[in-house]
Amino acid sequence: MFNLILKLRKYKLISIILVIILYSCANIQPPSGGPKDEEPPFITEFYPPDKTLNYNKDFVEIEFSEWVNRNQVVQNVMVSPVSEVSYKWSGRTLRIIFEKEKRENATYLISLGTQYSDNAGNKPDSAFSMTFSTGNTIDSGRIEGFVYGTNAAGSFIYAYRLNDKNPDTLNPEITPAEYRTQIGNNGSFSLLALPDGDYRIMVVKTQFRDNLFHPKTDEFGTYWENVKVEDGKAKFVIMKLGKYPDYSPISLNSVSKVDSNKILLEFNKLVKVNRNETKSSLEILDSAKLTDLGIKYFYTDSIFSKRLIIVTDKIISDITTAKVIIEPLFLIDTFKNKNTEISGYFRLSNRNYGSPFEFNMIPIKDSTQNVDNTKELKFSLNKSFSLPDTNVLELTNSIGSKSKLNIIIDGNALIAELNEPLLPEEWYKLTINSSKIVSIDGEKLSDRSPVINFKTIDWKQFPKVSGKLLDSVGCSNNIIALQSSQNPYYFQTKLKYSGDWYINEVKPDKYSIEIYCDENDNGRYDYGIAFPYEFAEKFLITKQEIEVKPRWEVQNVLLFFKLP
Q: Which range marks the domain in which residue 123 is found?
A: 43-133
Check pLDDT > 90 for residue 16: no
- pLDDT tops 80 at residue 371: yes
Cβ–Cβ < 8 Å for 201, 192: no
pTM, two decimal places: 0.81
What domain count does the chain have? Answer: 5
pLDDT the model gives residue 365? 93
Residue percentage of the chain with pLDDT more than 70: 93
453 occurs within a structural domain: yes
Asked whether residue 286 is domain-assigned, the answer is: yes
The tens digit of pLDDT for each residue in 89-115 reads 999 999 999 999 999 999 999 999 888
Confidence check: pLDDT of 481 > 60: yes
Instruction: Kindly state whether residue 550 falls inside one of the protein's structural domains.
Output: yes
Per the document, the length of the chain is 564
Q: 555 and 477, same structural domain?
A: yes
Give the model's pLDDT for residue 185.
81
d(CA 397, CA 98): 75
How confident is the model over 435-478, as pLDDT tens digits?
Answer: 889 999 888 887 667 899 999 999 999 999 999 999 999 999 99
Residue-wise pLDDT for 24-79, tens only, equals: 444 455 555 567 777 899 999 999 999 999 999 999 999 999 999 999 999 889 99
Q: Mean pLDDT over residues 102-129, rounded?
A: 90
Domain-located, residue 273? yes
| pLDDT at residue number 256 | 95
Q: How far apart are CA 134 and CA 322, in angstroms?
A: 63
Sheet with 141-148, side-by-side order of all strands: 188-194, 141-148, 237-240
Average pLDDT of the segment spanning 413-424: 94
- Predicted confidence at residue 524, as pLDDT, reads 93
Name 49's Cβ contacts closer than 8 Å, sequence gap at least 6: none
User: Which range has highest mean pLDDT (14-23, 383-392, 526-535)?
Assistant: 526-535
pLDDT of residue 10: 47
Q: Report yes or no: 272 and 408 within 8 Å, Cβ to Cβ.
A: no
Are 397 and 451 members of one domain?
A: yes
Instruction: Specify the amino acid at residue 14.
Output: I
Residues 6+ apart with CB under 8 A from 476: 496, 497
Which CATH number is 306's domain given?
2.60.40.1130
Q: Are residues 406 and 496 in the same domain?
A: no
* Upper half-sphere CA count for residue 344 (Cβ side, 13 Å): 12
Kindly report, residue by residue over 216-271, the tens digit of the pLDDT: 999 999 999 999 999 999 999 999 999 999 989 999 999 999 999 999 999 999 99
For residue 6, is it within any domain? no
Q: Tell me, what CATH number does 101's domain have?
A: 2.60.40.3710
Q: Is the pLDDT of residue 327 over 90?
A: yes
Q: Has residue 23 got a pLDDT over 60?
A: no
Alpha-carbon gap, residue 53 to 138, rounded angstroms:
7
The verdict on 175 and 238 lying in the same domain is yes
What is the structure's pLDDT at 33? 56
| Domain final residue pick, 72, 106, 133 | 133
Q: What is the CATH number of the domain that holds 219?
A: 2.60.40.10
| Dihedral-angle region of residue 186 (phi above 0 means left; psi in -120 to 50 means alpha; beta otherwise) | alpha
Could you tell me which residues come within 8 angstroms of residue 361 by beta carbon, excluding any fewer than 6 positions away?
Answer: 302, 303, 378, 379, 380
Query: Could you write out the three-class secondary structure of 111-167?
Result: EECCCCCECCCCCCCCCEEEEEECCCCCCCEEEEEEEECCCCCCCEEEEEECCCCCH
pLDDT of residue 17: 44
In angstroms, rounded to a whole number, what is the distance separating the alpha carbons of residues 443 and 446? 9
Out of 318-322, 377-381, 455-459, 489-493, pick the least confident: 318-322
Which residues are CB-neighbours of 292 under 8 A, at least 6 positions away? Answer: 283, 284, 285
Residue 481 belongs to domain with CATH number: 2.60.40.1120
Q: Which of 459, 486, 502 is at the close of a domain?
A: 459
pLDDT category, 141, cuts 50, 70, 90? very high
What is residue 456's predicted lDDT score, i.e. its pLDDT? Answer: 96
- In a domain? residue 211: yes
Q: Do the domain assignments include residue 272?
A: yes
- Mean predicted confidence (pLDDT) in 351-365: 90
Contact in structure between 455 and 425 (CB atoms under 8 Å): yes
Reported confidence tier of residue 326, pLDDT bands at 50, 70, 90: very high
CATH code (residue 413)? 2.60.40.1220
3-state helix, strand, coil in the chain (%, to 5): 10, 45, 50
Question: pLDDT, tens digit, for every residue of 261-278?
Answer: 999 999 999 999 987 777
**Contact present, 103 and 132 (Cβ < 8 Å):** no
- pLDDT value at 20 more than 50: no
